[in-house]
Amino acid sequence: MFEDLHDALTGINVLAVVGNIPGPLAAARLRMLGARVVKIEVPSGDPLELASPAWYAQNAAGVEVLRLDLRDEVSRRALFAHVANADVVMTAMRARSVEKLGLTWERLHPRNPRAVLITLSGEAPPHDDRAGHDLTYQARAGTIAPPAMPRTLVGDMAAAERLVAVTLAALYKRERTGMPTHARVNITDCANTFAEPYRHGLTSAGGALGGGLPTYDIYECARGFIALAALEPHFIDRLQTLLGVDDLDRGTLQRTFRQRDASAWERLAEEHDIPLAEVR
């Protein structure tokens, strides 16, 4: 994924006091960019390890994992020993836990004036103590169509990518100005950002990318379904030539696509350079 940038963060030490998905995924991305990552877990381990062992192992590869009971004074001393050597301290917890563990900017900055602090919470202050997870953040953002559950963790995945971007920006600012910073990320804002295409009508029912255009839609085939995404005129022209039809209305397209299996349409689309894929 980052083949040409695998050593971009060589020499950067990241201390990640994180669990579940967004924080560990961001830490894994930073490790893939060359950073040395020390991840602090609770004694019982990261909940993701129980829910999805393979994904946990993927994210933990190359990461130094320490399990510490931070209610214990010895464990806290071990934590702050790593703070002293960190370029980045990343936390992912509610505000009350950050305060209780002494992982605030006011407490960390005097211990290590060069470290940047990246804080992940579910929501922005003053609601950064409110309980929640991806499902509740998506519910507030409007990206769920009840009663179906979300197919993926939009808020968590978006937050992980934003954590990486904010961390890199904070490190660049420190490099450019010599001044470290404290940056905050919250999952609610990330989920709301990913909901903007829907909120602005682009992907809502009948929107241009929500079923309003016949050439950007999902169609049933003799076997399976295909996703057609022919927006630009040259793609539309190629599609019309391939199908040999006069009109590209939805009815004509549906009747035509039912004549072959989805996999066959995908092969033909690749041969004619048309954006069409079998739905897997």
Q: Residue 16 has what pLDDT?
A: 98
- Retrieve residue 105's tokens: 């900017």
- 74 dihedral zone (left: phi>0; alpha: psi -120 to 50; beta): alpha
The pair of three-digit structure tokens given for residue 32, joined into one six-digit string:
């893939």
- Yes or no: say if 34 and 63 are a contact pair by the CB < 8 Å rule: no
pLDDT of residue 224: 98
Which residues contact residue 175 at a Cβ distance below 8 angstroms, ignoring those fewer than 6 apart? none
pTM above 0.85, yes or no: yes
Amino acid at 71: R
Which domains are assigned to the chain? 3-197 (3.40.50.10540), 208-278 (3.30.1540.10)
Q: One digit per residue, pLDDT tens: the chain, 280 residues?
A: 677 899 999 999 999 999 999 999 999 999 999 999 999 999 999 999 999 999 999 999 999 999 999 989 999 999 999 999 999 999 999 999 999 999 999 999 999 999 999 999 999 999 999 999 999 999 999 999 999 999 999 999 999 999 999 999 999 999 999 999 999 999 999 999 999 999 999 999 999 999 999 999 999 999 999 999 999 999 999 999 999 999 999 999 999 999 999 999 999 999 999 999 999 9
DSSP 238-257: HHHHHHT-S---HHHHHHHH
User: How high is the pLDDT of residue 1?
Assistant: 66
pLDDT of 129 reads 93
Nearest to 92 by CA among 50, 143, 41, 147: 41
Residue 277, judged by CB atoms within 10 A of its CB (0-12, 13-18, 19+), counts as middle
> Of 195, 118, 125, 119, which is closest to residue 158 (Cα–Cα)?
195
CA distance 125 to 156: 18
